[in-house]
Structure 1
Amino acid sequence: MTERVVTVWADAPLSRAQERMAEARFSALPVVDRQFSLVGIISLVDVLRHRDDPHATVGDAMTEQVVTVQGATALSIVAHRMRVYGELRLVPVVERGALVGVITRSDLLRARRQGGLLRRAARRLGGTGLSGPLPEAMMPRGAGRVGGRPISSLRVADVMTDGGLVAIPAALALDEAAEVLLSYRFTAVPVVDDGDHLLGIISEADLMAGSSDAGSRTRASTVAGLMTYDVEVVRPQDPLADAEQLLTARGFRVVPVVDDDGVLVGVLSRSDLL
């Protein structure tokens, strides 16, 4: 688990939570009282749902019913709870009511890799390393591209990330896919063919849970065996208000943007809507 936790108070303005998520590039924060007792969780989607209220506080927008674990909880139990609660990516670790840490899907993937279940990638996409400048898709969260403009006046193309995109092939080994997610701190990444046509998307949750057939887990070794094929997409010319529904009402973290030929031309994330 991560012991040095970025938190926010329930009586803080909602803008404070957005600022802290932007600074730390997190998608959610634990909410605590002055005794550091956990009282809720605030996420980017909570911020988006309440951003039209200038007087909203963190307490107004946060989720109060929080799934928690203790430090002695087995990782298999944490992983199971994250699979059961599909939207759950961050689980607070609590001892006697006090917040002592958090654990995320990335932490679980990293633990598996260090334990030898995921090999370090022998090669990188395109033969280049993952170090160096972050692509535009991974610039600090919360900087936002909507600003003060009304959503109803914008198209997807106005705010989508279309530079420095990262996508992977379906034949990529699962351990290499995990490396991409961990190295770039992605929650999901698009899967494309040689012509950049969108084939699907693979997420942290896919890599953690594995695919199943009639209740039996398959022995997938590549992205093709685990990725989601039937993906909701938007087009650059679509109204941004329609895309916002996918990211807030339907709970998607990332939505691929494709042209009329199905070629990946961008991605839209919750942070783009701020």
Structure 2
Amino acid sequence: MPVRARDVMTRRLVTVQAEDPVDVAAQRMLRAGFSALPVVRGVDRLVGIVSLVDVLRHREEGTDPGATVGSIMTTDVLTMSPVTSVAVVAHRLRTYGELRVMPIVERGLLVGVVTRSDLLRGPRAKPGVLTRLFGRTVLPDPVPPRPPRPRRPGARRVGEAMTDTDLVVVAPTTPCSRAVELLLTRRFSLLPVVEKDGSLVGVVSEADLLRDPLDGSRGGPPRTVGAAMTRSPTVVRPDTPLAEARQLVVDRGFRVLPVTEGRRLVGVLSRSDLV
């Protein structure tokens, strides 16, 4: 029996209203550990998607501080039905899923969302991608949100705002199954890949590990991080102006920027660090 969107989607939704202030959306995303939220009116009628990048762009432009979510959200939102095949959802997320969220709509109402994390986890009660490829990892459902990091007001350089302790990294030889487990249990979208000497050699993301079942490829999935990772990622330095890093995120859509000194990884800077 084919796996459908309803089998993997997240049903416990965090949403915002179009009339909510932008700061409410930002705080809700930071508390929940999400990079984007569905925007609804009335009883879960989807009207858009708002992301942390939308918030950053709004603040960079210095527009009305009292602006509402409706004024910055994306209104042209691709949606899917609960009975859509997971293979189709995965393909659409890979092709069009810049926000990493696919709203699932039934009879005009939002009933769930599917993220890349949901696809990596697989169906809650049926064998999923982890079972078939690596052996399923038992995870809490839902995965609890990460505790928010303390805000650092007044930071001007990347080194003042980045995360530089308890970094979660993988090696090129790390099995993909372990990378998937770390991404899911720690609620990350990307992991730095480092050699034994601490030098950064790449990054591995949900997209790198989530194969598109409709891309026509006949090869098997990668087994190690080194075979799946993105090499030569864009990086910043601790002395990079925070405004420059913020512009990279806004213009190019980066979710996490590795921070290096020479080739050595010294921290990571995420969207939430910039909001």
Q: Shorter-chain TM-score: which interval?
A: 0.7 to 0.9
Is 2:44 the counterpart of 1:36? Answer: yes
- Alpha-carbon contact 1:181-1:204 (below 8 Å) kept: yes
What amino acid is aligned across from residue 132 of structure 2 in structure 1?
Answer: G
Is 2:28 the counterpart of 1:20? Answer: yes
- Give the TM-score normalised by structure 2: 0.85
- Alignment partner of 1:173 out of 165, 172, 175: 175
User: 1:224 aligns to what?
Assistant: 226
Is 2:66 the counterpart of 1:64? Answer: no
Consecutive unaligned residues of structure 2, counting only runs of 5 or more, are: 1-8, 123-127, 141-145
- Alpha-carbon contact 1:120-1:179 (below 8 Å) kept: no
Structure 1 position 113, deviation (Å) = 4.5
What amino acid is aligned across from residue 158 of structure 1 in structure 2?
Answer: E
User: 2:163 aligns to what?
Assistant: 161
Give secondary structure in 1 for the equivalent of 2:230.
coil
Structure 1 position 4, deviation (Å) = 1.6
Cα distance in 1 for partners of 2:41, 2:216 equals 45
Cα distance in 2 for partners of 1:191, 1:144 equals 26
Is 2:267 the counterpart of 1:266? Answer: yes
Cα distance in 1 for partners of 2:221, 2:129 equals 17
Cα distance in 2 for partners of 1:115, 1:194 equals 30
Cα distance in 1 for partners of 2:157, 2:70 equals 31
- Alignment partner of 2:109 out of 98, 117, 123: 98
What amino acid is aligned across from residue 222 of structure 2 in structure 1?
Answer: A
User: 1:82 aligns to what?
Assistant: 93
Structure 1 position 88, deviation (Å) = 3.4
What amino acid is aligned across from residue 18 of structure 2 in structure 1?
Answer: A
Consecutive unaligned residues of structure 1, counting only runs of 5 or more, are: 122-129, 132-137
* Cα deviation 1:139-193 (Å, max 9, x = unaligned): 427x543x3x3xxx71111101101111000001111110111110110000000
Cα distance in 2 for partners of 1:226, 1:247 equals 23
Structure 1 position 34, deviation (Å) = 1.3
What amino acid is aligned across from residue 189 of structure 1 in structure 2?
Answer: L
In the TM superposition, 1:179-258 aligns within 5 A as: 179-209=181-211, 217=219, 219-258=221-260
Matched pairs, number: 253
Structure 1 position 116, deviation (Å) = 3.3
Identity %: 51
Cα distance in 2 for partners of 1:78, 1:197 equals 36
In the TM superposition, 1:37-56 aligns within 5 A as: 37-51=45-59, 52-53=62-63, 54-56=65-67
- Alpha-carbon contact 1:144-1:273 (below 8 Å) kept: no
Give secondary structure in 1 for the equivalent of 2:159.
helix
- Alignment partner of 1:108 out of 95, 108, 119: 119
Structure 1 position 242, deviation (Å) = 1.4
- Give the TM-score normalised by structure 1: 0.86
What amino acid is aligned across from residue 140 of structure 1 in structure 2?
Answer: P
User: 1:11 aligns to what?
Assistant: 19
Cα distance in 2 for partners of 1:62, 1:173 equals 38
- Alpha-carbon contact 2:100-2:115 (below 8 Å) kept: yes
Cα distance in 2 for partners of 1:5, 1:59 equals 19
Cα distance in 1 for partners of 2:158, 2:173 equals 30
Over the aligned positions, Cα root-mean-square deviation in angstroms equals 2.4
Cα distance in 2 for partners of 1:113, 1:180 equals 15
